[in-house]
């Protein structure tokens, strides 16, 4: 069974029908994983005997007549999501052997459904970034082009066919940019839809847990399993009484897809052309497309960084050396803080903590933080207004091709890669990244953004849009 | 003194709840360190806070008990600073919108009339853990340990307006606040255990001045008495500075109870040095007007009302009612006793007298003593049943306080049973009559006091165990024959 060419539904059927055992699927996946990881640096840790035992337990359940809905599905989990069985590195060199007492709700729910965690995926320094370039263990290599970064390791794990699903965090766009750069599908859900309990968020206001898969269908198949109220994440209270899904049928005449023209002006002509083609294709498939106005992208990006850095300075304050990191004896408390934080936080995380501290400091709160809160609100209003004119809207994901591994880029350049993703994060609305086309061998993704709880509509549209055949796929070279 | 004293108090009160503010760890004292902890209150990555509704309810009750306006919409902020007892590197508190504001409570002022003390804010926050410093003087090899049992315990901070005008008013405010919090069932307010903590801001100005003088902050007072004393000390210090034409410096001072003096602590961060901003991991706190109204309706009886009821319902003198209701646990204790032994004045005498004296000696509250309401009822019943005399009963009470044994057990073990056996007493009475012919004579001569002396002799001979009434009867019968 080749995972890339199989849907989750087919794979589960095969296991339930006894064509293949969960143990065989997982065993093969782990082997595959170790081989591919050598060159790509996708995983920070890879499951072993535990995963095989879980698979055996699933096989026994099946023999007993149970039908776990995700029986034997191999899943990759980003390493800022806690999982008690494997180390949770959080993107810190000091945490490479940290066994968390917590297991994230989303991981628990997937495992309850019969999925098996294959490994923890690589991430930027303390999970802060959309490239993996600042990872303490080095970047994840893009499976389509070994000279460039994958964007997110979970996307690489799916694109290479190692795993059928990846659960990943997305604050400013890491999940979406990874999906775009690796030619797979990634969903950032509506605020409160998927519990974030167990996620070491650097920015709690915008961090969401999402899912990456090879197709929209595969995400549709598991969305309900991971969605819904969790008393341990206050934001999920919106789902307490069930989720009011906005469901519209794709292809119907009355579905309008908004095209914010000015957003695409930020792109180079060749990239822009791809989106124009997609827009025309959507039109020819029976959607109405409509040019709409969507301002404040640049301001949204800036506001996102002000708020995200401020929160990071607070969220990461717990890494003070008292409970985590190497025990050390110092002459003063300040010295202990200095040494511990230098050990736990990498260069990017330190930069963000320092900036965040500055932004919240006396006088600066009003000058920057309060202004950013205002922009946040305005951006949300802009998106809400847009959905008075259309049902969904399309946006680019990345401004550029994936970052080259060898080329130094400034942190500001890297931050501005989030131009199209960060404002969507501010809006709180769901975004599905689907493949839109290719430039040379590089996949290019686009975002379909909808009003709150329109995920099922996004996935339905996502499954009909964009080129579905990406040729031979990654690693064909 | 020529200056007017201006005092404001910041009081932290630990709420009585089952669980901590943001996790399900028990809100309970534990002698073993770090047993009441979990990933949430230890600040582990990925663990998210969940607000306890119970704590919110308690904070709401406190707010309405203090006549506050309650914010129907408020939220938690983070107060950011590093300290080893704070697991997350920030304290979750309410900075921008407190739950309660614009409240007041009433005390007697310096002239004996009622005075409203404004309460600027009542807000919820989490407590920090505790540092345990290894004993030993030198820097070398010295270490400190952290106990997070207290981390995350729900607190409310109650901040007065600068309305207090003397150290005595400050003490009266604290006593009143403690009484209200206890009666409302919000906190046990035990300062020596840290469930009530008080910081004081104090400044001086010329009478009639509108502007406030430069204030200093006092910390580390472990009793109401210490608050009063430290304020007096600080008022005197500031007055001396001003008298000499110097300026008072903005400082935080630490009260040293042993030396009865203040020590300058290092400079404190200004409020906006804490980089406060909204905590987005927690949902906003939303209340309805009905919930606030309900909290107000459900407020338990406060001290004054209860004292009034004691007078009306139990026919107690106002003095007794006042003493018994001075603390809620004393009043509760009294009423628990009454449920078992329904003679209000008798119970009142014993509770206010011997029982209270013991509590005071031991530094205990009524609910902490070995001597339960059941014990009190038992003791009083034994007196009624003439098993023991009132005098012996006091001894029994002493023993119970010391040993924790039951009153009847003490009576039996110590051989304190009252001697009501006529034949046994007759022998002693005969002996006393024989040994005191002069007294017998003067009794016969009409001096009734002489009888009392002889009763005393019998009591002495029986080490107080004789039934005094019976002794009396026997003596009269034998002498008058």
The 10s digit of each residue's pLDDT in A253-285 is: 679 999 999 999 999 999 999 999 999 998 888
Who has greater pLDDT, A326 or B240? Answer: B240
**Topology of domain A1-477, CATH:** Amidase signature (AS) enzymes (3.90.1300)
Who has greater pLDDT, A309 or B385? Answer: A309
Using DSSP's 3-state secondary structure scheme, residue A144 falls into coil
Q: Structure tokens of B429?
A: 């009475």
The 10s digit of each residue's pLDDT in B285-301 is: 999 999 999 999 999 99
Q: What is the largest CA-CA distance in chain A?
A: 72
What pLDDT, on a 0 to 100 scale, did the predictor assign at position B427? 86
Q: Given CB atoms, is B281 within the 8 Å cutoff of chain A?
A: yes
What pLDDT, on a 0 to 100 scale, did the predictor assign at position A464? 77
Optimal mutation site among A83, A96, A102, A171, interface B, most CBs of chain B within 10 A: A102
Long-range contacts of B321-326 (CB under 8 A, 24+ apart): B323/B352, B323/B356, B324/B348, B324/B351, B324/B352, B326/B179
What pLDDT, on a 0 to 100 scale, did the predictor assign at position B270? 62
* CB-based contact A318 B89, cutoff 8 Å: yes
Optimal mutation site among A88, A317, A377, interface B, most CBs of chain B within 10 A: A317
CATH ID of B422-480, from 3.60.15.10, 3.90.1170.50, 1.10.10.410, 3.40.50.620 = 1.10.10.410
* CB-based contact B82 A318, cutoff 8 Å: no
Q: Per-domain residue ranges for chain A?
A: 1-477
Long-range contacts of A403-410 (CB under 8 A, 24+ apart): A403/A131, A403/A133, A403/A148, A403/A149, A404/A147, A404/A148, A404/A149, A405/A133, A405/A139, A405/A141, A405/A147, A405/A148, A405/A149, A406/A147, A409/A133
- A320 closest CB neighbour out of B46, B48, B89: B89
* CB-based contact A197 B46, cutoff 8 Å: yes
Q: Structure tokens of B259?
A: 């030396």
In degrees rounded to 5, what are phi and psi of residue A183?
75, 30
Q: Given CB atoms, is B146 within the 8 Å cutoff of chain A?
A: yes
Residues of A with Cβ-Cβ distance to B282 under 8 angstroms: 234
Q: What whole-number distance in Å separates Cα of residue A401 and Cα of residue A398?
A: 7
* CB-based contact A318 B139, cutoff 8 Å: no
* Interfacial residues of A (vs B; Cβ cutoff 8 Å): 81-82, 88, 90, 100-102, 104, 196-201, 204-205, 231-235, 237, 310-311, 313-314, 316-320, 322-323, 329, 331, 333, 337, 357, 360-362, 365, 369
- B44 closest CB neighbour out of A100, A317, A331: A100
Residues of B with Cβ-Cβ distance to A101 under 8 angstroms: 39, 44
The answer, yes or no, to whether residue A476 has pLDDT greater than 80, is no
Q: Structure tokens of B384?
A: 């009624």
What pLDDT, on a 0 to 100 scale, did the predictor assign at position B459? 85
Q: Cα distance from B282 to chain A (closest Cα, Å)? A: 6
For residue A473, what pLDDT band results from cuts at 50, 70 and 90?
A: low
Pairing state of beta strands B90-93 and A116-121? unpaired
The 10s digit of each residue's pLDDT in B89-118 is: 999 999 999 999 999 999 988 788 999 999
- A317 closest CB neighbour out of B42, B44, B80: B80
- Tell me, letter by letter, the H, E, C secondary structure of chain B: CCCEEEEEEEEEEECCCCECCCCCCECCCCCCCCCCCCCCCCCCCCCCCCCCHHHHHHHHHHHHHCCCEECCEECCEEEECCCCCCCCCEEEECCCCCCEEEEEEEEECCCCCEEEEEEEEEEEEECCCEEEECCCCCCCCCCEEEECCCCCCEEEEEEECCCECCHHHHHHHHHHHHHHHHHCCCCCCCHHHCCEEEEEEEEEECCCCCCCCCCEEEECCCCHHHHHHHHHHHHHHHHHHHHCCCCCCCCEEEEECCCCEEEECCCCCCHHHHCCEECCCCCCEECCHHHHHHHHHCCCCCHHHHHHHHHHHHCCCHHHHHHHCCCHHHHHHHHHHHHHCCCHHHHHHHHHHHHHHHHHHHCCCHHHCCCCHHHHHHHHHHHHCCCCCHHHHHHHHHHHHHHCCCHHHHHHHCCCCCECCHHHHHHHHHHHHHHCHHHHHHHHCCCCHHHHHHHHHHHHHCCCCECHHHHHHHHHHHHHC
- A314 closest CB neighbour out of B78, B84, B146: B78
Residues of B with Cβ-Cβ distance to A361 under 8 angstroms: 273, 275
* CB-based contact A204 B275, cutoff 8 Å: no
The number of C-beta contacts closer than 8 angstroms across A and B is 96
The answer, yes or no, to whether residue A120 has pLDDT greater than 50, is yes
The 10s digit of each residue's pLDDT in B6-45 is: 999 999 999 999 999 999 999 998 889 999 999 999 999 9
Mean pLDDT to the nearest integer, A193-214:
97
Optimal mutation site among A107, A203, A322, A344, interface B, most CBs of chain B within 10 A: A322
Residues of B with Cβ-Cβ distance to A369 under 8 angstroms: 277
Q: Per-domain residue ranges for chain B?
A: 4-290, 301-413, 422-480
- A320 closest CB neighbour out of B82, B272, B275: B82
* CB-based contact B51 A365, cutoff 8 Å: no
What pLDDT, on a 0 to 100 scale, did the predictor assign at position B269? 57
* CB-based contact B80 A313, cutoff 8 Å: yes
Optimal mutation site among B275, B282, B283, B284, interface A, most CBs of chain A within 10 A: B275
């Amino acid at each position: 069974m080749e995972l890339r060419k199989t849907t989750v539904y087919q794979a589960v059927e095969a296991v339930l029908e006894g064509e293949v055992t969960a143990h065989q699927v997982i065993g093969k996946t782990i082997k595959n994983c170790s081989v591919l990881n050598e060159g790509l640096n996708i995983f920070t840790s890879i499951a072993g005997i535990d995963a095989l035992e879980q698979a055996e337990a699933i096989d026994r359940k099946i023999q007993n007549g149970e039908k776990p809905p995700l029986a034997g599905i191999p899943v990759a989990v980003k390493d800022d999501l806690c999982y008690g069985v494997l180390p949770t590195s959080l993107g810190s060199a000091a945490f490479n052997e940290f066994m968390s007492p917590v297991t994230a709700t989303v991981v628990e729910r997937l495992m309850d459904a019969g999925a098996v965690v294959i490994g923890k995926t690589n991430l930027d320094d303390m999970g802060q970034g959309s490239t993996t370039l600042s990872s303490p263990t080095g970047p994840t290599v893009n499976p389509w082009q070994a000279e460039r970064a994958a964007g997110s390791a979970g996307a690489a794990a799916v694109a290479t066919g190692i795993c059928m699903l990846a659960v990943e965090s997305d604050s400013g766009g890491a999940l979406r940019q990874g999906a775009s750069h690796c030619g797979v599908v990634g969903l950032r859900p509506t605020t409160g839809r998927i519990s974030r309990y167990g996620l070491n968020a650097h920015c709690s206001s915008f961090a969401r847990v999402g899912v990456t898969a090879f197709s929209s269908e595969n995400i549709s198949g598991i969305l309900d399993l991971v969605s819904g109220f969790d008393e341990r994440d206050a934001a999920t209270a919106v789902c307490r009484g069930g989720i009011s899904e906005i469901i519209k049928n794709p292809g119907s005449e009355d579905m309008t897809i908004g095209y914010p023209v000015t957003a695409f002006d930020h792109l180079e002509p060749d990239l822009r052309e791809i989106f124009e083609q997609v827009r025309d294709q959507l039109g020819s498939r029976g959607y109405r497309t409509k040019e709409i106005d969507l301002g404040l992208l640049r301001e949204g990006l800036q506001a996102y960084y002000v708020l995200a850095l401020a929160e990071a300075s607070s969220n990461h304050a717990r890494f003070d050396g008292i409970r985590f990191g190497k025990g050390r004896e110092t002459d003063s408390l300040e010295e202990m803080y200095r040494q511990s934080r230098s050990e736990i936080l990498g260069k990017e995380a330190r930069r963000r903590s320092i900036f965040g501290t500055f932004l919240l400091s006396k006088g600066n709160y009003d000058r920057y933080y309060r202004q950013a809160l205002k922009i946040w609100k305005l951006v949300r209003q802009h998106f809400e207004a847009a959905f008075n004119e259309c049902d969904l809207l399309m946006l680019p994901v990345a401004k550029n091709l994936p970052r080259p591994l060898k080329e130094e880029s400034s942190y500001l350049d890297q931050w501005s890669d989030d131009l199209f993703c960060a404002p969507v994060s501010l809006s709180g609305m769901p975004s599905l990244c689907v493949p839109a086309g290719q430039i040379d061998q590089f996949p290019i993704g686009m975002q379909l953004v909808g009003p709150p709880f329109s995920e099922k509509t996004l996935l339905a549209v996502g499954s009909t849009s964009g080129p579905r055949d990406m040729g031979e796929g990654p690693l064909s070279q | 003194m020529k200056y007017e004293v201006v005092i404001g108090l910041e009081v932290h009160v630990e709420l009585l709840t089952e669980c901590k503010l943001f996790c399900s760890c028990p809100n309970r004292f534990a002698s073993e360190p770090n047993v009441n902890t979990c990933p949430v209150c230890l600040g582990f990555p990925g663990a998210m806070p969940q607000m306890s509704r119970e704590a919110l309810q308690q904070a709401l009750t406190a707010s309405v008990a203090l006549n506050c306006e309650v914010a129907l919409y408020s939220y938690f902020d983070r107060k950011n600073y590093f300290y080893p007892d704070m697991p997350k590197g920030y304290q979750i508190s309410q900075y921008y919108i407190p739950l309660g504001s614009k409240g007041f409570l009433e005390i007697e002022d310096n002239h004996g009339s009622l005075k409203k003390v404004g309460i600027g804010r009542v807000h919820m926050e989490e407590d920090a853990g505790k540092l345990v410093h290894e004993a030993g003087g030198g820097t070398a090899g010295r270490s400190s340990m952290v106990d997070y049992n207290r981390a995350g315990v729900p607190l409310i901070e109650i901040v007065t307006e600068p309305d207090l005008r003397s150290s005595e008013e400050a003490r009266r405010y604290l006593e009143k606040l403690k009484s209200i919090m206890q009666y409302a069932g919000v906190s046990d307010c035990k300062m020596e255990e840290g469930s009530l903590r008080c910081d004081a801001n104090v400044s001086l100005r010329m009478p009639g001045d509108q502007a406030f003088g430069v204030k200093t902050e006092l910390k580390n007072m472990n009793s109401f008495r210490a608050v009063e004393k430290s304020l007096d000390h600080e008022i005197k210090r500031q007055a001396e500075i001003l008298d000499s034409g110097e300026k008072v410096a903005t400082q935080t001072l630490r009260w040293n109870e042993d030396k009865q003096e203040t020590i300058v602590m290092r400079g404190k961060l200004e409020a906006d040095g804490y980089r406060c901003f909204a905590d987005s991991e927690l949902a906003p706190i939303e209340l309805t007007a009905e919930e606030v109204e309900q909290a107000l309706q459900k407020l338990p009886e406060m001290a004054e009302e209860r004292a009034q009821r004691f007078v009306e319902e139990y026919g107690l003198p106002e003095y007794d009612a006042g003493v018994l209701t001075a603390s809620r646990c004393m009043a509760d204790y009294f009423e628990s006793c009454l449920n078992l032994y329904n003679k209000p004045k008798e119970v009142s005498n014993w509770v206010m007298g011997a029982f209270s004296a013991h509590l005071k000696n031991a530094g205990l509250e009524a609910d902490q003593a070995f001597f339960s309401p059941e014990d009190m009822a038992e003791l009083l019943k034994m007196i009624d049943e003439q098993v023991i005399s009132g005098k012996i009963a006091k001894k029994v009470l002493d023993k119970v306080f010391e040993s924790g044994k039951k009153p009847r057990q003490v009576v039996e073990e110590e051989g304190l049973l009252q001697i009501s056996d006529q034949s046994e007493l007759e022998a002693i009475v005969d002996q006393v009559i024989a040994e005191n012919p002069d007294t017998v004579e003067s009794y016969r001569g009409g001096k009734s006091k002489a009888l009392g002396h002889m009763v005393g002799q019998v009591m002495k001979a029986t080490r107080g165990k004789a039934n005094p009434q019976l002794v009396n009867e026997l003596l009269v019968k034998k002498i008058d024959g």
